[in-house]
Amino acid sequence: MTNIVNILGYFSQRELGAAFRVERKAQKRTQQWVADQCKFRRQTIADIEKGKNVEVFTLMAALNALGKGLLITDRRIALDQLGDLFKEDDNDDCDLAHNPLGRKKRLMCH
């Protein structure tokens, strides 16, 4: 099943922090490296990754250090993606979605 978070184009603060951590590690960068690039404390980067409340400037600077940014998109689901929300899972009687944190969420049971 397609990741429902990606279909909806929405990340919670915690999911955004987890996605930031995944990207940082994929680039083989440490929290300290990102902090040094932004002239922040390492704890500030840890706070972003935990999904804590940080200023927009802080988040944008940290993303920029990794060569990333934010994109404003429409949260409405495109009709061609709507069917992906209700695809049957061959291994279960219920449809499941996976989020970036690895948890499963039940969407609909038959």
| Number of independent structural domains in the chain | 1
User: Does residue 110 form part of some domain?
Assistant: no
Q: pLDDT digit string (tens) for 21-41?
A: 999 999 999 999 999 999 999
Which CATH number goes with the domain that contains 26?
1.10.260.40
User: Does residue 56 form part of some domain?
Assistant: yes
pTM reported for the whole predicted model: 0.63
- Its domain, for residue 63, covers 4-84+93-101
Q: pLDDT digit string (tens) for 29-73?
A: 999 999 999 999 999 999 999 999 999 999 999 999 999 998 887
Q: How far apart are the first and last CA of the chain?
A: 16
* Half-sphere exposure of residue 18: CA atoms within 13 angstroms, side-chain side: 11
Name beta bridge partners: 104: 98
Provide the pLDDT for residue 27: 97
